[in-house]
């Protein structure tokens, strides 16, 4: 393996995310940051808040994963059951592919919607905003076959359909008009086009049609047969375990080129990774802080589709907490992360600001410090971070934001294309 390839592999490893975030946290602890100090004395209070909210939401402590599938449950509607009924005649592998297709396209469409946008679901008669609305809208688009180019196989995503989608088509799916504006419609369409191009460029993984669900086959060693008349792969030996970090790496290897951040190492796209002087590291990867927030959110959201197909996902806590504005906002709003500038929120920031990179790195490191305190407050020994986030820190971040600010926005505005926050 070349030094370059080794560096890219290093930056796609969640262990590197933790190590680089800890290095920046140590830099802040040592007083080296011009942006932040830390007040860890507030962590027990935050743990109690998170635990209390978790108990109120899940009294039996049967906490699901932090996942896009939670948004498919919005309004108490069993949309998974609806999808399962449509897929009932298919093999469990074909069902897994369809669920992965839905998850991937829905997560990629989950950029911030803006405060004004709402989605009306005709089937339930309910209205939804923000992430829940985007989740329900993308689910309905999937069920209507809007991401498939084959009318005879509507419950899939394929490259041809993605490349044909434009902002006008997305506006129809998301019910966008002058009175119901959705932030970043053109950007969402462009992201789906880049996804379509990436799928088409990797037929060895995603087949000739470019279906993302074949990630299941790649990760469970279920090879494709020669493409015959009916395009059905012949079943082969399936591995019934996969590591969470392996799912993340597969996503990053396949799709890092679709992110528009422009971050690259000698021409290889890195996605959500940023340079910081205190990041540490060795060799060609030194100085880079990978976060891979959206790819980790996608990895968390794929845990259930793999498990539902009979594949055990191990190493859940190899993945990190998600460095986005709900988790990071919780830590600022509770006074754990203390900005040195009292007017820090006066203007919007961009993702490659040192301020934002440090905030996100501190969020990852402090979520690891907070997790055992939350477990202790709940009286449980085993609780994966994927469930603590859901129980949890993300919900507590939204809760405290609503207490502190009209409209429940984050403590600081980030100018982003939606692929970072």
The C-alpha angle with vertex 297 and arms to 37 and 81, in degrees rounded to 5, equals: 140
- The tens digit of pLDDT for each residue in 35-53 reads 999 999 999 999 999 999 9
Residue 72: is it exposed, middle or buried by C-beta count within 10 angstroms (0-12/13-18/19+)?
buried
Please tell me whether residue 337 adopts helix, strand or coil conformation.
Answer: strand
Report the helix count and the strand count for the chain, using DSSP H and E: 18, 10
Joined together, the tokens standing for residue 38 give 């830390």
Phi, psi of 34 (to 5 degrees): -85, 0
Mean pLDDT of the chain: 93
Residue 240: is it exposed, middle or buried by C-beta count within 10 angstroms (0-12/13-18/19+)?
exposed
- The tens digit of pLDDT for each residue in 337-386 reads 999 999 999 999 999 999 999 999 999 999 999 999 999 999 999 999 99
Calculate helix-pair angle for 130-143, 79-86, nearest 10 degrees.
Answer: 10
379: left (phi over 0), alpha (psi -120 to 50) or beta: left
Could you tell me which of 141, 131, 129 has the C-alpha nearest to residue 71? 131
Going residue by residue through the chain, which has 421 residues, state the pLDDT in tens, using 9 for 90 and above.
899 999 999 999 999 999 999 999 999 999 999 999 999 999 999 999 999 999 999 999 999 999 999 999 999 999 999 999 999 999 999 999 999 999 999 999 987 788 889 999 999 999 999 899 999 999 999 999 999 999 999 999 999 999 999 999 999 999 999 999 998 899 899 999 999 999 999 999 999 999 999 999 999 975 554 333 334 444 455 679 999 999 999 999 999 999 877 899 999 999 999 999 999 999 999 999 999 999 999 999 999 999 999 999 999 999 999 999 999 999 999 999 999 999 999 999 999 999 999 999 999 999 999 999 999 999 999 999 999 999 999 999 999 999 999 989 899 998 876 667 6
Per DSSP, 12 falls in state: T
> Which pTM does this prediction carry?
0.94
Please tell me whether residue 118 adopts helix, strand or coil conformation.
Answer: strand
Joined together, the tokens standing for residue 299 give 């990895």
Phi, psi of 180 (to 5 degrees): -135, 70
Beta strand pairing status for 118-121 and 264-265?
unpaired
Could you tell me which of 94, 72, 100, 416 has the C-alpha nearest to residue 251? 100
């Amino acid at each position: 393996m070349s030094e370059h390839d080794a560096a890219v592999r290093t930056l796609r490893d969640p262990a590197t995310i933790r190590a680089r975030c800890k290095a920046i946290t140590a830099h802040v602890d040592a007083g080296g940051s011009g942006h932040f100090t830390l007040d860890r004395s507030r962590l027990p209070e935050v743990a109690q808040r998170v635990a209390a909210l978790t108990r109120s939401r899940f009294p039996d402590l049967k906490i699901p994963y932090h996942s896009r599938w939670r948004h498919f449950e919005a309004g108490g509607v069993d949309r998974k059951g609806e999808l399962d009924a449509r897929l009932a005649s298919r093999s469990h592998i074909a069902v897994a592919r369809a669920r992965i297709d839905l998850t991937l396209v829905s997560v990629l469409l989950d950029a911030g919607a803006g405060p004004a946008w709402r989605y009306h679901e005709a089937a339930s008669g309910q209205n939804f905003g923000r992430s829940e609305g985007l989740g329900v809208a993308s689910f309905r688009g999937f069920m209507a076959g809007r991401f498939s180019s084959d009318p005879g196989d509507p419950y899939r995503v394929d490259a041809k359909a993605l490349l044909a989608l434009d902002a006008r088509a997305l506006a129809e799916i998301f019910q966008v008009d002058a009175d119901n504006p959705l932030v970043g419609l053109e950007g969402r369409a462009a992201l789906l086009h880049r996804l379509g191009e990436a799928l088409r460029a990797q037929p060895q993984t995603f087949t000739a049609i470019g279906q993302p669900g074949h990630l299941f086959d790649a990760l469970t060693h279920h090879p494709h047969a020669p493409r015959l008349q009916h395009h059905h792969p012949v079943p082969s030996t399936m591995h019934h375990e996969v590591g969470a970090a392996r799912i993340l790496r597969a996503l990053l290897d396949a799709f890092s080129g679709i992110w528009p951040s422009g971050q690259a190492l000698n021409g290889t796209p890195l996605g959500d990774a940023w340079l910081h002087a205190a990041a540490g590291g060795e060799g060609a990867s030194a100085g880079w802080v990978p976060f891979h927030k959206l790819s980790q959110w996608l990895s968390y959201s794929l845990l259930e589709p793999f498990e539902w197909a009979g594949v055990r996902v191990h190493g859940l806590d190899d993945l990190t907490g998600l460095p986005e504005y709900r988790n990071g906002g919780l830590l600022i709003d509770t006074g754990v992360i203390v900005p040195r500038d009292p007017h820090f929120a006066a203007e919007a920031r961009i993702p490659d600001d040192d301020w934002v990179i440090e905030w996100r790195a501190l969020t990852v490191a402090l979520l690891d410090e907070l997790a055992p305190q939350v477990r202790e407050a709940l009286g449980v020994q085993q609780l994966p971070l994927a469930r603590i986030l859901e129980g949890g820190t993300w919900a507590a971040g939204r809760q405290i934001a609503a207490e502190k600010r009209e409209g429940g926005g984050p403590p600081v505005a980030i100018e982003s294309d939606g692929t970072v926050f």
